[in-house]
Structure 1
Amino acid sequence: MKRILVPTDFSSHAESALKIAAQIAKKSNSEIFLLHMIEVPSQMNDAITGATGIPETMLFIQKAKETLQKTKEKEFLKDIQITEQLNFERAHEGILSFSIKNKIDLIVMGSHGVSGIEEILIGSNTEKVVRLSDAPVLVIKKNTTELKAENFVFASDFSKETKKPFKKMLEFATLFDAKLHLTMICTPNSFKTTALSEKIISDFIADFDLKNYTTHIYNDVNIEKGIINFSNKIDADLIGLCTHGRTGMAHFFTGSISEDLVNHAAKPVITFKI
């Protein structure tokens, strides 16, 4: 993990994400890319890129550049290589295209937490990035100043298709020397016997050299509540799960579990695309 992207709208939520990104960057000797998106009507592009421009628009752009520079110079970013970028594009589209173009290893974004996700980078934009990003996405809750991952819940159906993202998750967990809690949620609509669930998990982890981990089977009314309730039960620091990169998630993640968790979980959530 060498290239971390932090989209910012200069809010307190974005700053929380930036502080966590700084923590990760120092652990992994990574570079941070600080990205601010300005959404402007297409007819104004000439005014922005041309020799002359609308005074109000140009003033707004200059202010954004100055704020980016001030953000880059914050004390907690000292000794970290920072590359700032101001782009003119719809927020989630710009974040995703920037991530691909710059071969980003991790995207760190802020959220409001259990009250729901709003504002320019929050809400539908965060959900779309979580759903569509090829790079892992770490969503940080408001006022989080340090990421602890001593107890890391990874919720999955432990199917073969999750093995590749599971490897990425292990790399992240190793960075924090985390204890992994490998968890299968059983619901009335996706019931499996304990014996079958244990066998599925056992067969899955047989391909990996795992040391600091536990396995769990947790029953609840639906998957989202199961993940949240289990995470609260063990006082987890971080929740990890896989996404299929589409609105409907097959197998274990029916519906939009990752997006719901990003909205409703009080814990930080990291997603890995299948």
Structure 2
Amino acid sequence: MTTSPAPAQLTTEAEDDAKLMRQLEEELKNSALDEDEEMSISSSSSSSSASINLQANMLTAAEQLLADQGMLHGVQIFFENQFFEAQRIFASQEQVNPVYALGSGALAFMKACMTFNESDIQHAIKTLQQAEALCNAQIQAAPKKTVPLMASVSKLVSSGWSYFGYKDSSAKSSKHGSPAGTPAPPLPKHMTNGEIRARVIRAESLLLTSLILLLQESIMSYLKAGLNLRKGYKSYENVWAEFKTMGNELNTLVDNNTRGGVYFG
């Protein structure tokens, strides 16, 4: 003879289901903020990125390779079983440099996969979200490339004003700008190497976050993992599309380490 669940038990299950649906709705809303993925920041990392103020990474490909020497040394000694020294190197710049934050996140990810300890899992997620937040800050700070249609319209309007004897308003001095007659610096033709790099690191952080979420074995974690995988895929997709527009300039504009990250993805 079967017994029906008590009313209190049914109420608790209904409340849990409602809470789960609210969390899922919030995650879907954050994931769909921007189809271009740069503003689709998860609710857990949006507050962190809002407080981060980073300058755009304007290093050239050659300069970036030189700047990566410290990080590469950390990776090398990690594979030589010097784990604590590698962790020290990654932690030295994890608050300001996305690739160092990714290194710390990768170490935390491996520890969580080996221990299955909830505190280690949460630490890995937090560290990887810090890397994602740093990438979002650099993406937002980067100068945006010229859009061909908008550039043509702007040039046409400027020519029209000149034809009728009016000076282009962009040539006038502003309270923040340069003196009158000084042309504004041209917008880049492609994404900067720094922005591409930030998008790649962001995608790799999202991938590792998705994998670590699967260890929690809950419905919400599975859903979050799927959303993070989608955001990471969009990030890789946008960078790959940018690579196609660069043509023969790719090897000059993008450093080897960043290209390797894209090919890996």
Q: Could you tell me the TM-score, scaled by structure 2's length?
A: 0.23
Higher helix share: 2
Structure with bigger strand share is 1
